[in-house]
Structure 1
Amino acid sequence: MCSSRPAEHRGRWWPGGWSLRTRLLFGQVGLLALVCLGIGLGAELALRGYLLHQLDGQVHEVARRSAVLSGLPPPRPAMARELGQHPGPGPAFLDAPGQPIGVVAAVVDDRPGSIRLLSAGKLTRNGERIGLSPAAQDQLLQFALESEPPPPPPPGAGRDGRPEPGRRPVTVDLDGVGSYRLSTEHDRFGRLTVSGLPTAGLDATLLRVLWTLVVLSGVALLIASVLGVLITRRALAPLTRVAATARRVAGLPLDRGEVELPVRVPERDADPRTEVGQMGSALNRMLEHIAAALSTRQASETRVRTFVADASHELRTPLAAIRGYTELARRRDDELPPEVAHALGRVASESDRMTHLVEDLLLLARLDSGRPLERDEVDLSHLAVDAVSDAHVAGPEHVWKLELSAEPVLVTGDAMRLQQVLGNLLTNARLHTPAGTTVRLALARDDRGAVLTVADDGPGIPAELQPEVFERFSRGDSSRSRRDGGTGLGLAIVAAVVRAHHGGIELNSASGSTEFVIRLP
């Protein structure tokens, strides 16, 4: 049973992680390499067959000549000297005119009961006969016995009166002399002659052709690689531009704010006649739909924010009247029945809570509309001391800690809104943690500006709620109960004010720990 490698263990050499350009280039070069390999292999096999056929023809000629010369009586000494023959090992017919250089020959007496090698030798480049090693002689004798040709036919049975050759020549690696193609023939005395020619020339030719093919294939692959890079880059340039357009769109903050989509795939890359053009055209249509959806969403959000701002503004006047008349009526609490006095107290508390809600909604509406905040020098250390003091009075059952740097931490911003940020974070910690929880407010400075941290050791915020804690009306209690007195706007105001100061806020929460980190430039 086999299993694929896990994706995390696949390195950069794993083809699945290559770019399309790289895969096309490697596929093109690999296909060309296979073609070159096939052509080279076919050429080598064809050339080897052709050269081997020629060599076999020469071997047959040498074998027939050797068999004829072996059947002639030996020349007289004077004639041998005139023919340039010299005594030495091997058959005398090796010195006959026309014998090729490097030929190996042997004469074998294969009569039953007297099988033996009569003589064996080799003709050198200098025209001298040299002997063969005992191992080579044994090889020739064994070859002669295993490949003995049929008895010679009657005279004139072959072409031009010559006997037909025996079996096809066989390649034998002779000890000490190399590889030879050997063939056998019978002479007129019935003895078996073995003759052979070296295959070194054939092997050298094949090797030269092989190296030539390797060099030419390497040059062809190099040229194909360079041209492939240029052609592939040019062919995939539209796809690269389409991908760049998609990346630019992906980098836009489509999840918030008023967003425009000025990015489109160029017309030259949106030609529906090509595959890349079809993708570019589809991407343009998708961007148009996204732009329409964003415009619709933005218009809806604008209408909602306008309504909330107008409604909140209009509610301030009746709320102020309600609070005024309620305070006026409560001046005579001692003259009113108890149930009426209690009712007026509830009216006053609810009008106060509704006033705070209206003020929060108006603040968010102003921040959404981009109205500038006050830009003064603010001492965050002083604001932190006041915020912790107020929190201690509001929640004496909690443990409050304040950590300040040795030097005052100064930023440029709206002191009232920054005070509201600190108050909302501490109130959030007080309302959502049990009594006895330690809440720590730390203020420090780093290279990028001021760092304000509000942390507690309470139960933490559930992981499924963390992505939504800065959304408006986000509450941990989905039943919308009012037992904690929260409106769900506290952290939304914190995030909006921090963004208006060009800062950032982070949440890190787990079981037993919650930490809000604010960075202000």
Structure 2
Amino acid sequence: MKLRGLRRTWSFSSVRLRLLVGLAALLVCGLTASAVISAFLLEDFLDRRYENTLETSADRFKEVIERGPQTADADQLGTLLGPPLGLVVVGEDDKVLLSTGSASVAAGAVTELSSTVPAGTVVRYDGHDEQPGLAAIRVPSPGLTVDRGPGQGVLAPAALVLTIDTSVDDITISALIKRQVALVGGALLLLLGLAVLVLRLGLRPLARMARTADAIAEGHLTERLPTTRNGSEAGRLAEAVNRAFDAQARAEATVRSLAADTSHELRTPLSTISGWLDLHRQGGISGPALETALEHIENEVGRMRLLVEDLALLARLDAGRPVEQQDVDLTGLAAGVVEDAQIIYPRRGITMSPAPSAPVVGDAHRLQQVVRNLVGNAVQHTPARTAVQVDIVRDRDAVHLRVVDNGPGISPQDLPRVFERFWRAEASRSRAYGGSGLGLAIVEAIVHAHHGQVHVRSEVGVGTTVTIRLPHAPRES
């Protein structure tokens, strides 16, 4: 149980927590970028509005000044350019003669700043201490006089500096940023809560898979991960894992079956040997009968040795050990096997059709074992008068060797099992000939080790054809 809890904690850390952290990072970046862009756009909009206001006011003043000498009342100018606008009347040498409205608190600084750029250019004064931020524009005023009222005299300014107070909008932008920060925090918490819920629902199939995997690990081998038909990633993962579990179950069943079949095959010769030895110890064998008993024991030992050698060969081939690579003439090799079979079974019609040389690359001894097993199977599992024909055909890509018999054939339900180890369609007939049920399994393993294919075609009452296909030997350049 501790291991299960540890695995689930790590699963949460590696999947849910990482997804949540990644989503949180994306949300923070997205919401922050949205807030920054909004504040930037608002500030840019307000800046443009200030500039447009100042430029429009400056154009009106220019238009009035260009009409000729003009006299303006100072009080009227102050009223006309009230907050957030302001005016600085500038004399010679940029001396401040009069200031009204928003320009009063920083008239000198604004005048000095506006003198550093061409007339008609908007400049900005950021302000400091208690002074507000200002935007200003300078307008030359030749011929303009400003009447300050009775007893105040008349001013002849060299230029006018129009200003507008930007501090109010700066406060607005600051308040907007603060509110956006609060909204970003609230939205982040809300979205993360929803993300936790969505992840919990979305990863629920993985949690069910984990519980099922735990059940399988505890010994419930028939359990399988829940699957869906919606084509989701979790569904495809479950199907793939289920296929892996099925393959493992088949492999384990094969191992158990192999162990059972091997023990069964060894039990018969061991029982025979044990029986003869018991009979000998009881004094039931003497004289010529002892030779007979030893002969039987030797035959059974030979059967066990052959079985062990076949199993060892299959184990080596299953492990993927490479076979020898040498030039082999499959036609000559098959002809030698057919000649041996004709001597061993003189009453059987075993023949080979004339064939050209068929060069392949591989282990001559193993390929000879393939042909012997095929011919031997055809002889052992067919009636006495059944003919066996060996053919070799070459095409552009490969060499095809066929062993054909006109025996009773193999039933369709048995045909897919012919390469299974220890499987026999007729167990009694196989054992009568000393077969172990490994012949075709060895054939398949050897052919696959030579990068070839083997195929069986059979029809009941017509006969059976086993075909192996091996690649050509590469031509010498």
TM-score under structure 1 normalisation? Answer: 0.40
TM-score under structure 2 normalisation? Answer: 0.43
